[in-house]
């Protein structure tokens, strides 16, 4: 196993096998949501997609995380989404590696970002432990959603 972390600059740079590997990861994350390639393409266009690749021996994408940018009238922040590691690779520091890659990316973003935000269901025990271990603090705010479809 030799894990490297990289950014995907454009959807068109991904090979069909890699798109299929990302699709598998997203199914792990949200089994009920169908994979829509155009959605992934839009996410890459507006955000920064980190992939973790096992270079030895397969060159397979075995983890991912997405950094998006949110600019309001008063501040700019980064939003982390879609963090997932393939089940066979969990517990080996790869989730932490993806998060550290995204945090470094956010720190180096040309426009100053005030903070990084994310949310995670309480039932995602490993993810909540990961985020807390990295210094993310639980915010005291109500989180609302209005479904449009
Ligand atoms: C959350 C997830 C990405 C973590 O990836 P991972 O590669 O297994 O995590 P790491 O090995 O880097 O572990 C990093 C930290 O996460 C926490 N963690 C990982 N596995 C854990 C477990 N089984 N129990 C408790 N904490 C755990 C620990 O704090 C750990 O740090 P430590 O090893 O210093 O104790 C992975 O479990 C996953 O893909 N889960 C399903 C998808 C998901 O829930 N994504 C988050 C959506 S918000």
132 falls within a domain:
no
In three-state secondary structure terms, 4 is strand
Burial (CB count <10 Å: 0-12, 13-18, 19+), residue 52: buried
pLDDT, residue 110, reads: 84
Q: Is any ligand 1 atom within 6 A of the Cβ of residue 85?
A: yes
93 falls within a domain:
yes
Q: Is any ligand 1 atom within 6 A of the Cβ of residue 119?
A: no
CATH classification at residue 20: 3.40.630.30
Q: Is any ligand 1 atom within 6 A of the Cβ of residue 91?
A: yes
24 falls within a domain:
yes
Helix (H) or strand (E) holding 7: strand 3-8
If you write DSSP's letter for every residue of 47-87 in order, what string do you get? EEEEEEEETTTT-EEEEEEEEEEEE-SS-EEEEEEEEEE-G
112 falls within a domain:
yes
Q: Is any ligand 1 atom within 6 A of the Cβ of residue 47?
A: no
Per-residue pLDDT of the chain (149 residues; tens, 9 = 90+): 999 999 999 999 999 999 999 999 999 999 999 999 999 999 999 999 999 999 998 899 999 999 999 999 999 999 999 999 999 999 999 999 999 999 999 999 988 999 999 999 999 999 999 999 999 999 999 999 999 98
Structurally, the chain folds into a number of domains equal to 1
Question: By residue range, what is the domain housing residue 62?
Answer: 3-119
pLDDT, residue 107, reads: 96
The answer to whether the pTM exceeds 0.75 is yes
Atom of ligand 1 nearest to the CA of 86: 39
């Amino acid at each position: 196993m030799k894990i490297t972390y990289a950014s995907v600059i454009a959807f068109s740079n991904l090979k069909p096998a890699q798109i299929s590997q990302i699709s598998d990861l997203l199914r792990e994350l949200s089994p009920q949501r169908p994979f829509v390639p155009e959605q992934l393409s839009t996410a890459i266009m507006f955000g920064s997609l980190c992939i973790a690749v096992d270079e030895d021996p397969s060159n397979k994408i075995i983890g991912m995380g997405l950094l998006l940018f949110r600019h309001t009238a008063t501040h700019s922040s980064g939003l982390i989404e879609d963090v997932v590691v393939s089940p066979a690779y969990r517990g080996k520091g790869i989730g932490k590696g993806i998060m550290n890659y995204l945090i470094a990316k956010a720190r180096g973003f040309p426009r100053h970002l005030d903070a990084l935000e994310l949310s995670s269901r309480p039932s995602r025990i490993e993810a909540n432990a990961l985020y807390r271990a990295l210094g993310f603090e639980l915010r005291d705010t109500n989180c609302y959603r209005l479904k449009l479809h």
